[in-house]
Structure 1
Amino acid sequence: MPKGEGPALEPETGMGMLQEGGSDYRTNHSARRDLRKMNSAVTFCALLAFILAILMAYLLVDNFRSQQDMCATGQFLRARESDRLRQRAYIPPRFNTDKPRAHLTAVRQKSMTPMKDSWPALQWEHKLGSAFIKNQMNYTNNFLVIPESGDYFVYSQVTFRGSTPECGKINQKNRSTKPNYVTQIITRVTDRYPEPTQLLTGTKSICEIGSTWFIPIYLGAVFPMQEGDKLMVNVSDISLVDYTKEDKTFFGAFLL
């Protein structure tokens, strides 16, 4: 071997080393490539998970909003239905001028046969002077006829006048005793009962008043009435009724 020269490599040995180095290079390159693929896959999965999370959050928010909208819509519909029911149930108040009412005044009484088991019924003026009937209220045959069911204030005043020197004095002609009291009755006649019903009664004594006397008897109260009910005023002695002035004897009713 010449001086200064190293040992010569055998061709086969050099090729083996090159092959081993190339093999390591290919192995490292493949590992780096696999690592890049893995990193890409992880990044993709993370991105996909992030997108799915955003999508789920959006769906949850949208569902929550939808529930809120449905709740609000349901409340709105219930409120509208409640308002509609209240509007349907609400009946605006009627003005007094629209309600049935009547005010009658006394007239000179004509001789009439009283109803069975009752005193004579007074006759009334319903058109002239301060007398009136309005809004379907009707007056016929001494009766005030109710046109509409409801609560009515019914009233009457009858003024009696006469001259009775002594109470209980016996009439020498027919041997009868003059009564010592006067009475008025507001009576209701209805198809629901076979007999007339006394709603209000007022009685006053005429004893020890003097030779000439005036006695007003006022009655008034609220009664539930039905359509078609009839009202009349009966008195114990029709000849003692003072019909000379409208403010002395009157009769009326009106729907509340």
Structure 2
Amino acid sequence: MEGDCSRVTVDLENGPVYPSPIVTLVREKPTRQWRLCGALLAMALCVSAALFITWQKQDHTEKPDELQHMLRQLSENRKAAIHLEGEYNPSGAYKSSVEWTDDEGQGFSQGGLKLNNNEIVIPQTGLYFIYSQASFHVSCKANPKHPNEDMVHLSNTVKRWSPSYGTEDNKVYQTLLNSVRTVCKKSSNGEAASEGKWYNAVYVGAVFSLERGDRLRTVTENRLLPHLESGAGKNFFGVFAL
């Protein structure tokens, strides 16, 4: 066998000497299987290098665009909501109603809902939760002969105008929410006058299906406006999308 041979030495005087093996290392020629594996390995390294270079280019060129797209989606997907705070201002632009604002106190607006001409404008058709509160401080007079005069009726109303109702020139508002509360302060001795003040908040809120372009406004009776309380969290009006 190649690579494995023995040498016999003969000593003419002492006789033959037993052979000592001599091992010769022989490098085997690569087989076809090994050559195929090497080719596949080289191809895999080339493909990996190409993919790495492509990923590096995308990481530097496409990443900012993807980030901007994600931020744009987050901004567009913000829930539409608006919260207004209000008070009665007899010298203001809205002398016969509560004057609302979205840039004072806890007021804000986002997602397309906006305040326009003291009304909330709906940006898209959908389900919305509408809520409002009006707070009053009133005094009642006790009169045994006319008990009905002892009572003061407080109310809070939210009305809606929709493009399906009519044109801008002939706006007809329909009542969505209305709450009435009766309060009275009677004197302990039955006398006619009592200077005690009653503080009451009238709250309304419910879910409605609204259309794009709808307008919402609150209505408070003129006789009650001078009794409207002022201060943070007393009077508010808001809408948010569901």
**Equivalent-residue separation in structure 1 for 2:216 and 2:184 (angstroms):** 30
CA deviations 1:9-46 (Å, max 9, x no partner) are xxxxxxxxxxxxxxxxxxxxxxxxxxxxxxxxxxxxxx
What TM-score, normalized to structure 2? Answer: 0.55
Distance 1:246 1:230, change over 3 A: same
Query: Does 1:252 pair with 2:238?
Result: yes
Task: Check the 8 A contact 2:76/2:111 in 1, yes or no.
Answer: no
Preserved contact between residue 112 and residue 120 of structure 1 (Cα < 8 Å): no
Q: State the identity %.
A: 27
**Per-residue deviation, residues 28-76 of structure 1 (Å, max 9, x unmatched):** xxxxxxxxxxxxxxxxxxxxxxxxxxxxxxxxxxxxxxxxxxxxxxxxx
CA–CA separation in structure 1 for the residues paired with 2:219 and 2:145: 24
Matched, 1:205 2:185: no
Aligned residues: 152
Q: Deviation of residue 223 (structure 1)?
A: 0.2
1:129 maps to 2:115: no
Q: Among residues 158, 176, 184, which one is paired with 2:156 in the alignment?
A: 184
Q: Please show how residues 124-163 of structure 1 align to structure 2 within 5 Å.
A: 124-163=100-139
1:207/1:217 Cα in 2 relative to 1: closer, same or farther (>3 Å)? same
Distance (Å, rounded) in 1 between the aligned partners of 2:115 and 2:90: 17
4+ residue runs of structure 1 moved beyond 6 angstroms? 94-97, 167-170
- Structure 1 letter corresponding to 2:97: A
Tell me, which stretches of 5 or more residues in structure 1 are unaligned? 1-93, 171-176
Structure with bigger strand share is 2
Residue of 222, 225, 235 corresponding to 2:207: 222
Quick check: which has more Rg, 1 or 2? 1
| Deviation per residue, 1:140-170 (Å, 9 max, x gap) | 1110111111000000111111223337999
Whole-angstrom distance in 1 between the partners of 2:145 and 2:233 = 31
| Aligned-partner Cα distance in 2 for 1:112–1:130 | 21
3-state DSSP of counterpart to 2:217: strand
Distance in 2 of aligned mates of 1:213 and 1:168:
19
Taking structure 1 as the reference length, the TM-score comes to 0.52
Unaligned runs of 5+ in 2: 1-73, 167-171, 187-193
